[in-house]
Chains A and B, each alone.
Chain A
Amino acid sequence: MMATPILQISGLTMDFGGIRALNRLDLDVHAGEIVALIGPNGAGKTTFFNCLTGIYTPTAGEILLTPPGNSKSISLKGLKPNHVTEKGLARTFQNIRLFSQMTVLENVMIGQHCRTKAFILGAILRNAATRREERQIVEKSYAILDKVGLAHLANEFARNLPYGAQRRLEIARALATEPFLLLLDEPAAGMNPQETQELDRLIKEISTDGHSILLIEHDMKLVMSLSDRIFVMDYGKKIAQGKPAEIRSNPAVIKAYLGEDVDA
């Protein structure tokens, strides 16, 4: 008997006017897993992430989150993005969305926002509690940057980082929100093979630290190396799911990626 999955999605549907971008999608992630979501361009993977993180409100379906060590499930459907993040789900973006005019460290410090409290009065009075909190934010952010290998660039502007480092900073920023489930939207997009290899190592490290990971990725080598399970989407529908070896030989997946076989 397996424990309840930390993320259980059932019948998730998203309509944009007459277009059904997601069609009754079911998906689950268990604690400690790395799950990949793959599919051709336009299959609805990013829409799926947007529904999950509250940027879109899904038309139908249910998203249930069960924090590890907790028997109660929370529905994420209709929650605002910031509340989803507070519940312990953090994401990165396919097109990098860093705060480019802020320093690398400040980007990570923003991630700590929902775990800290100081407000107007705290900011003006700068009392002991606020100073302690600021100190903690800085130390923690440095520790996270150290983990992704960016601590030496902490006070650079985010916009001045090389591409691969910006991708890693996005992961660091998401980690700073203290999630138990990390959603990575094409973390390896545009990376060179060496950067991808480093990313592979980083994701495994994050996973061993106790974060579950759900990632969208096109780099099949990375997906096959990382994932415990893979879900495949096409035209908003799930067409396959299983272990990497099963997916590799699944005819429906091959058809979706390579097109219809021409019958002789």
Chain B
Amino acid sequence: MTFSRGFHGRRRDDVDPARVPPGQYVTEDFPVLSAGPTPHAPLESWSFSIRGAVDEERSWGWDELRALPPETVTVDIHCVTKWSKLDTSWTGVSLDTLLDGIDTSAEYALAFSDGGYTTNLPLGDLKDGKAWVAYEYGGEPLDPEHGGPARLLVPHLYFWKSAKWVRGIELRADDEPGFWEGYGYHNYGDPWKEQRYAGD
């Protein structure tokens, strides 16, 4: 392989390696990656629902979601396309708050978004302070191109699981692969085990 003399790229190399999962590069940017056009759902008709293996579907309109107790968290995020961004700040409602009081025997969840995107994960990975419906990034309302008005935030998994423009989660007894999972990406996606593709 020949090298391009003097090329380094926009990577940061001054970070604690313990914070960088295998195969990742740290960036200062916030790349915009998407599978389709940015939806523009009017807030008046926006809702987040929990449905599926529940006795009763639960739904929150925008104002109702914003009325729930928010949390602000600072987390590192890791995209399967190899960039990682450290110390990102988000504000949103914890899935623990949203799932509170919901009785279910479901073990899996399928998150769904405006535009048709889906991603699956074990229900347990949405609980215990591991996931949020985030509506602010860096103290500002979440930009539509980054998933606003609200996106799922599940930082302990590769960022394709943090569904942009999220509109709800479907609780399921069986595991249903989401969009990228169906094309061969790893069903779980732990960056620390470098679970990028099925079979990793």
Do A and B pair up? The answer is no
Interface residues of B (CB under 8 A from A): none
